[in-house]
Amino acid sequence: MTLNETHDVSHTSWVDSANAPGSDFTIQNLPYGVFRRKDSTDPFRIGVAIGDQILDLQAAFQAGLFAGEAREAAALVQGATLNAFMGAGQKAWGALRLALSRVLRSGSKDQTARAGLLVAQADADMALPARIGDYTDFFTSIHHATSVGKLFRPDNPLMPNYKYVPIAYHGRSSSIGVSGQSFPRPLGQTMPPGATAPSFGASKRLDYELELAVWVGSGNAQGARISIDRAEAHAFGMCLLNDWSARDVQAWEYQPLGPFLGKNFASTISPWVVTMEALEPFRTAWIRPQADPQPLPYLDSPENRVGGAIDIAVEAWLQTSRMKQAAIAPQRLSRSSFRHAYWTVAQMLTHHTVGGCNLQPGDLLGTGTQSGPTPEEAGSLLELSVGGKQSLQLPDGETRTFLEDHDTLTLKAYCEATGRARVGFGACSGTVLPAL
């Protein structure tokens, strides 16, 4: 992709809230989501976030706002999921984005009439943006991999394959929910320190994971590999992902086959899909340290080196039940960036298909916890508390090593750079309920 008029920082929107400082949903963003009016039984439909509003794409289509290639693309967003549009490819995605930019731009004709096509985000309920056929969670932060490895395997923190292979496991798509999800504390087997046999009960070491996720756009036939020079064309967009983790369950079960019950009880994603085109201005060089093994040829390309990384700031915020009752704002636990990832979006897609796996529109690829190189950039409580050995102090005097019942954990992400318009992801919140 290249920059085009949809990225022009001089453009503003006739939706005033999109122009406010710090707005996640500027006219240069235009992310897609699935919504309906709050507390209604209306069918869910597809919309685009602009400021604090949602442009109803079904209503916009019926109002005749699109023509030519954009109208053909808009015909694919008339249902309750984005899968058909995701599978249409970059040409369709670009045509509709350009049309939406022009429709929502300041000075657009008939903007008074078009204001009737808006629904306030505060008045909407959100659903999963697409039908998720499959979900794979990668392990792209070498800082997270090393920190966690030191806790689980002090003598061998980083497995020798990590610097050669984009490691991943196959997750459970049925338990993925949209922001606002609440779930009961999971049960499972754990091996308490000093015990000679496992016990069964509620997890005592419940954690969050500060992640992003990639939505697959156009897929590939079984056996047809996606080459790294074409991989980005198969990525539709990104969202936030919290892969909740029961660390005590995970520690007992993960060898030799990896995560199972420690991960499959809940994962939460943000409702808005920020397109790869919207993220284009924030690409940066992907650099593999010279002392490290360089990627095998199928995972390497000049384009990936020059712009495979994306500078997306990611944050985790905690609000306890007591903080809510006292009207104390959430506290930020950590902040990092996706630019630190050891593996890129293109490398994840390429490696996933190199053996012949067929990806489909709407498949979700998690990036893994996005921890940075410094301790305050850790993307999980497991790291921040050093395996539960150091408590985090909260503003009301409470402490945490792991999540307690009724805690709400919120992830945020955004891109900001000099000379660029802000592009945000909105919030990804989830609340822990007592075990059943």
Active-site residue list: 144
172-76-63 Cα angle (round to 5): 130
Enter the tokens of residue 41.
């039984």
Question: E strand or H helix at 37, and its extent?
Answer: strand 32-37
Q: How far from 179 is each of 81, 144, 272, 387, CA to CA, in Å?
A: 16, 24, 10, 27
What does the CA dihedral 10, 15, 16, 17 come to, rounded to 10 degrees?
-100
- CB count within 10 Å of CB 70 equals 21
Tokens 């039940």 locate to 321
Q: Where are the beta strands (DSSP E) in 204-308?
A: 206-207, 210-216, 235-242, 245-246, 267-269, 274-275, 283-284
Half-sphere exposure of 111 (CA within 13 A, CB side): 14
| Amino acid in the structure at residue 23 | S
What does the CA dihedral 48, 54, 60, 62 come to, rounded to 10 degrees?
110
Rg (CA), the chain: 22
| Amino acid in the structure at residue 258 | G
Q: Let me know how many helices (H) and strands (E) the chain has, helices first.
A: 12, 26
Which residues touch 186 (CB under 8 Å, ≥6 apart)?
A: 202, 203, 206, 246, 249, 261, 262, 265, 266, 435
Contact between residue 277 and residue 217 where contact means Cβ atoms under 8 Å apart? no
331-352 in b/e form (b: 16+ CB < 10 A) is: bebbbbbbbbbbbbbbbbbbbb
Contact between residue 114 and residue 65 where contact means Cβ atoms under 8 Å apart? yes
Distance CA 428, CA 424 (A): 12
